[in-house]
Structure formats: C-alpha cells, structure tokens
Structure 1
Amino acid sequence: MKAAVVTSFTAPLEIQERAVPQPGAGQVLIRLETCGLCHTDIHAAHGDWPVKPQPPFVPGHEGIGIVEELGSGVTERTVGERVAIPWLGSACGECRFCIDGRETLCERQQNSGYSIDGAFAEYAVASARFVVPVPDGLSSLDAAPLSCAGVTTYKAIKVAHVQPTERVAVFGVGGLGHLAVQYARIVGGSVIAVDIEDEKLDLATELGAEHVVNAAKVDPVAAIQALGGADVAVVLAASPRVFEQAFSSLNRGGRLICVALPADQEMSVSIFETVLKGISIIGSIVGTRQDLAEVFALHAAGHTRIIAETRRLEQVNEAIAEVLSGKVLARLVFEY
C-alpha cells in the first residue's frame, strides 16, 4: 500500500510502499477513501509539541474508509461498514475521565497519526471500539473534515455554553473556523468572524457570521468592543498574540475557549481583569465518540456545510506548504 511517512522532523514526508497492516485483537482493517489534512498533522510532522511522536510514523486523523477485515474478538463493527478514524484512537475505558464521559482526557489514550499510525495511507488498522460509523447520505469527502475540524469546534461551542443572542467571536476562519461559525449559529449565537484574509471573511459571512473583522487592517479588540464586546471568544489561530487579543475582546462574564495549540505556548493575560470581569479561560480538546456521532447527524440533516478541496496523497508536502501559507480557504482532503 501507499503511505505518507514522517521519517524525520526536519525532512519532508516520504511516499512509501508498505505492506497492508493486519488487524490485531479488537481492531479492524480499513481501506481509506479520504483523509483531511489538519494543522495537527503538520505539528506532528515537525515535532512542534513537548510530547513528540516517534518517527517513522504515518500521520492522519480525519480518515474515512470501509471496514475490510475484523480482528479477533470484534463484534462492534461489520465488514463493508463505512467508518471514521478520529484523533482519539483509543482510551482505557476505566479511568474516571472515561467513565464520566470525558474520554478525551484519558491519560492512557492513543492518538491516530501521532502515537499510532494514522490515515495518510491507503489502509490502516484502528480500534473497533473507537472508529465511528459514518451515516448514509454523508459523503466521504465531507465526513473527513468533520472527524476533527468538525468535532473539535462542535465541542468548543458545547463547552462555551453559548446562550441565544450572545456574541461569539471566532478567531481564525479556515478548516476549523468555517465550522465553528456554523455551530455557533446553530445554538443561537451572533457570530463575529476574525481573520486576516478577506476571502475567508467573505466565506464566514456566507455561512452566517453577522460581523467580520480583518485583523490585518484594524485592531480586532477595538473593532469587537465597538460591536459591544464578545461573550465568547473561540481561538483557532495558532498564535499566542491572537489568544491575548481574544481575551481582551471579552465582556464581563466572558469565556475564552482555547483550541489552537501554537508551537510557542505562552500567552499573557491580566489576572486583575480575569478576576474582576469574571472571565473563564477554558481549554477544549477535540470531542468524544458521541460528539462525533452528533456532528455527523447534524451534517446529514443539512445543518452544516463543508468547504474543502481535494489533493492526492503524493501532493502531501505541497499541501502542507499550502496550509502553512494561510491561503487555503478551509480544508484540504486527500482522496485515495
């Protein structure tokens, strides 16, 4: 099979021919149809974060494909079923986080395309319990970005507890941001979209944002405060400066939802303002299997749109350069 492999944090990915993996106990073999390119895949390939994956490895955690073989003991899935391989590759199922519905906080979790090989390949093995069925009527092209960009922003809006008519500022309109705009609208939020590309801001308006702010042309804090301030700020741009701007844009009682993971990990906020204004700073990490099932159901019901362009796996390094340029409108998806 063909796979895109990280051999070094300082080298481009290599397209290699590998043997088709065999499913072990509790696993399924999946023939991939699509896989989205997430910024996390780029961080993984470059070794940007403190806990680093171990090369060689195959990135990819927005994989959609068909179950072709069942490992021993598998009863949850069937051959021919279409499933998603999300970021949460597995969790222990026994710790207090798994038991109370916060499986993405499990300390023994495995992550697709990071600690275990992912979906930048024609075939992959995955835990039968942690792949998520894809509903009929939902294309594999759309399902791929929903498996991370969708479930991540859906969960961010969930933990923000957005109330109808509250102003929600979405910092970074792209693969994640174009979905965050839609989820905030679904729960009744009034969306302010912030980016530095007019084309992305035009897309945000098309998807329901009531206001847009080009942070390359105006001070986003002043612009948002002129609109009445934000009750919720969701940060999807990988820059500490953007986190600080988002914090400063908040009203009293506001919630800063931290989603993006910059390589430079420190931001500066005022303790005085945090306390006196009653601001909450909340970290939100992807979503559970149930969250992803809900994301798929919303899309199948026609409540969201995916903006994506396709690429071939052989174009992986060019695709990464496109994403890093900031010019990609929303999501790039590899089709096999």
Structure 2
Amino acid sequence: MRAAVLTEFGAPLAVREVPAPRAGGGEVVVDVLATCVLPYAAEVFSGERSYPLVPPVVPGLGGVGRVVAVGPDATRLRAGDLVWCDPTVRSRDDALTPDIALQGWSSRGEGGARLAEHLHDGSFAESMRVPTENVFPLPGEAAADPARWAALAVHLIPYSGLLAGGFAAGETLLVSGATGNLGSSAVAVALAMGAGRVVAPGRNRAALDLLADRFGSRVRPVRLTGDTAADGAAMSAAAGGPVDMVLDLLPPSAPSSVARTAAMTVREYGRVVLMGGVGMLGGDDLALPYPWIMRNSVTVRGQWMGPRGANVGVVRLVASGALDLAPEHVRTFGLDAVNEAIAYAAAHPGPFERTVLAPPAG
C-alpha cells in the first residue's frame, strides 16, 4: 500500500510503498477514507514541537475509514463497516494508570513509547492497524462526506475536556484560546452540550466576529488587550454572572499569563481544565495562587485526550445535529499532495477551517 512517511524531522513527507498492515488479536485493519491534518502538523514534522515520534514513521491522528479485517475477539465489527478510529491508545495491563500514546503522533513516558513502537504508524496511509477498542461505528450518513466527519479528531479534544470538568447544560464556560482551531471547536461543542453561555476571549477580531455571527447571543466575545487586569475584568463582565468552568486550549506560543488570567475568572467551587500547550516550548509555568485555589475550593486538573466513551458521545452530538459540521470549511487533498496539505493547514489555522487528507486505496 501507499503511505506518507516522515523519514526525518525537517524533511518533506515521502509518499512511498510500505507493507500493508495485518490485524492481530485485539486489532482491526481499516482502509482510511479521510484524516485531519492539524494546523500545527508542520511544527510536529519540523521537530519544533519535539514530539517523541521515531522516524521513519507514517504520521496521522485517527480518521474515518472502512473495516477491512478484524481480530478474533471482535464480536460486532464487520468488514465494510464505516468507522471512526480514535488515535488515543492505552495500555491494557494497568487499569489505574494506563500508559498512553497517540498513534502516529505522540506518546507519554517510557510505557507510552513502547506502545508507540508497537502501533507505530498513523493514518496518513491507504490503510492502518488500530486496536479494536479504538474503532467506533459511524452512522450511515457519514458515508456521504467522510472528509467532513474527519473533524471528529478536533472536536473530540474539547469534548473530552468538558467531560473531565463535569460540564453541565445551562452552565457558563470560558474558553481560553477561543479563536484558535481547537478553541473555536470548544465553543461549538459546549453550545451543542447545552451551555447557557460561552465567554470567548481572543485577540483576533475577525475570529471573534465569526463566532458571534455563527452562534448568536449565547457567545460573549472579549477582545484581549494584553493588560491582564483589564482583560480579567472584561471576561468576568462578559459572563454576566459566575463562570462555572474554564477550559484552556491555548497553544505553546501563548504566555502563561494569558492562561492564568482566564483561569482566575472562575467562580468559587468552579473548575479549571488544562488541555493546551502553555509552557511546552519553554517560558514561564502557570502560577496559580495557592490561597486562591484553596479558599475558593477551585478544582484544577489537566486532561490529555479523553476516555473511550467520549468518542461515542461526540459521534452522537454530530449525528443528532446538535453539533453541526455543515458550516465548516473543508479542503481535501489526495495522498500525493500531503506536503501541500500540511502547508495549507498551517496557513489556515482559524475557526472551523479543516484540512483533510483523503488517501483511499484504489
């Protein structure tokens, strides 16, 4: 089969013939129909983000596909099923603290590196091998536009963060980093889950206007100035009442002061969930005051990706129409144009911009 291979950091991906994957026990082989190219993919492949990928590797973060073959322990999946493949792979031998790898993308610690060695290759290929528990059936309507449904790779992240924070219908959410690709997704997902209102701070006026135009009065845009005291006051005022939860999705380039200012808008007994990249490339750590956390009974937690059930939940949100993918702008590239796709994604990182690789086998 053909695949796009990262041969070394800093080099363009090379499209070449590689051995076709085979399913072992607990695994499924899927023909890839569509997979998202994230806006920061170029930073990963250049080595700028220092992700623990080991070249040569077929990258790619999950995708939409059709089942080709299943292992002997699959009881419901069948060849030909249309499915979503979750890239979050967990070790099976420790239920309390499983090791984690993002197949074809990243990993955590020594155990995660071992997982990544076994499930080395991702979705920038005609076919991929996936753990059985990472394959989720999609509704029939997804077959008409698998490239649009590949956006599950983006929406799954904030949905997982909202689950982690116990977000409930009617609550007020503040999305730190709301004008970015992931942050704008968080706005849409929170509203689909029944948010009373969503405070959306950011510096990009055009992106803020887009959010307001698309979602109406339940979204409260806030133009950030860089003055932390003024920005914090503006975010609190925009909420029009207590902020129940803050979800941070800021990129590594953002200063920790921005994340801190947003976090400290949360109410007493509120929750702060950290899913962004602040501090990953150096810079100051997030310094939240101990007395403020303690005396206000604030819950602060980190969340890297989400549980298996999050995949089912986000698919249901889209299938029900609560999370509408129709307004998203999707640009699709074939496998041979993978490097063009990576460059296009980097140049179009804004709200609801989706770059998709469609490498179906011939």
TM-score range, shorter chain: 0.7 to 0.9
Contact 1:21/1:29, CA 8 A, preserved across alignment: yes
Structure 1 residues without counterparts, runs of 5 or longer: 98-104
Q: 1: CA distance between counterparts of 2:168 and 2:137?
A: 30
How far residue 66 of structure 1 moved from its aligned partner, in angstroms, is 0.7
Corresponding residue for residue 246 of structure 1: 262
1:152-171 matches, within 5 Å, as: 152-171=157-176
Q: 2: CA distance between counterparts of 1:264 and 1:253?
A: 31
Q: 1: CA distance between counterparts of 2:184 and 2:195?
A: 16
Q: 2: CA distance between counterparts of 1:164 and 1:140?
A: 29
1:252-271 matches, within 5 Å, as: 252-262=268-278, 263-264=280-281, 266-271=285-290
Corresponding residue for residue 110 of structure 2: none
Corresponding residue for residue 207 of structure 1: 215
Corresponding residue for residue 203 of structure 2: 196
Corresponding residue for residue 183 of structure 1: 189
1:6 matches 2:6: yes
Corresponding residue for residue 103 of structure 2: 112
Q: 1: CA distance between counterparts of 2:273 and 2:123?
A: 28
Cα distance change of structure 1 residues 275 and 217 upon mapping to structure 2, 3 Å threshold? closer
RMSD: 2.7
2:303 alignment partner, one of 284, 297, 307? 284
Q: What SS is found at the alignment partner of 1:137?
A: helix
Match of 1:283, as an amino acid?
A: G
Contact 1:234/1:258, CA 8 A, preserved across alignment: yes
Q: 2: CA distance between counterparts of 1:23 and 1:236?
A: 35
Cα distance change of structure 1 residues 127 and 320 upon mapping to structure 2, 3 Å threshold? same
1:121 alignment partner, one of 125, 147, 154? 125
Q: 1: CA distance between counterparts of 2:226 and 2:330?
A: 28
Structure 2 residues without counterparts, runs of 5 or longer: 106-115
How far residue 192 of structure 1 moved from its aligned partner, in angstroms, is 0.9
Contact 1:47/1:53, CA 8 A, preserved across alignment: no
Return 43-52 or 64-73, whichever deviates more.
43-52
How far residue 191 of structure 1 moved from its aligned partner, in angstroms, is 0.5
Cα distance change of structure 1 residues 237 and 110 upon mapping to structure 2, 3 Å threshold? closer
Contact 1:44/1:52, CA 8 A, preserved across alignment: no
How many residues of Structure 1 are paired with residues of Structure 2 in the alignment? 326
Q: 1: CA distance between counterparts of 2:219 and 2:304?
A: 27
Q: 2: CA distance between counterparts of 1:50 and 1:252?
A: 37
Q: 1: CA distance between counterparts of 2:277 and 2:154?
A: 14
Return 44-53 or 7-16, whichever deviates more.
44-53
Q: What SS is found at the alignment partner of 1:187?
A: coil
Q: What SS is found at the alignment partner of 1:286?
A: coil
Corresponding residue for residue 230 of structure 1: 243
Q: 2: CA distance between counterparts of 1:86 and 1:47?
A: 24
Cα distance change of structure 1 residues 41 and 126 upon mapping to structure 2, 3 Å threshold? farther
Q: 1: CA distance between counterparts of 2:348 and 2:268?
A: 32
Return 171-180 or 118-127, whichever deviates more.
171-180
Cα distance change of structure 1 residues 193 and 299 upon mapping to structure 2, 3 Å threshold? same
Contact 1:44/1:59, CA 8 A, preserved across alignment: no
Q: What SS is found at the alignment partner of 2:181?
A: coil
Contact 1:178/1:203, CA 8 A, preserved across alignment: no
How far residue 258 of structure 1 moved from its aligned partner, in angstroms, is 0.5
Q: 2: CA distance between counterparts of 1:283 and 1:48?
A: 23
Q: 2: CA distance between counterparts of 1:267 and 1:48?
A: 21
- Scaled by the length of structure 1, what TM-score is found? 0.85
How far residue 169 of structure 1 moved from its aligned partner, in angstroms, is 1.0
How far residue 240 of structure 1 moved from its aligned partner, in angstroms, is 4.2
How far residue 314 of structure 1 moved from its aligned partner, in angstroms, is 3.8
Q: 1: CA distance between counterparts of 2:255 and 2:296?
A: 21
Q: What SS is found at the alignment partner of 2:140?
A: coil
- Scaled by the length of structure 2, what TM-score is found? 0.79
How far residue 276 of structure 1 moved from its aligned partner, in angstroms, is 2.7
Contact 2:87/2:134, CA 8 A, preserved across alignment: no
- Report the identity percentage: 25
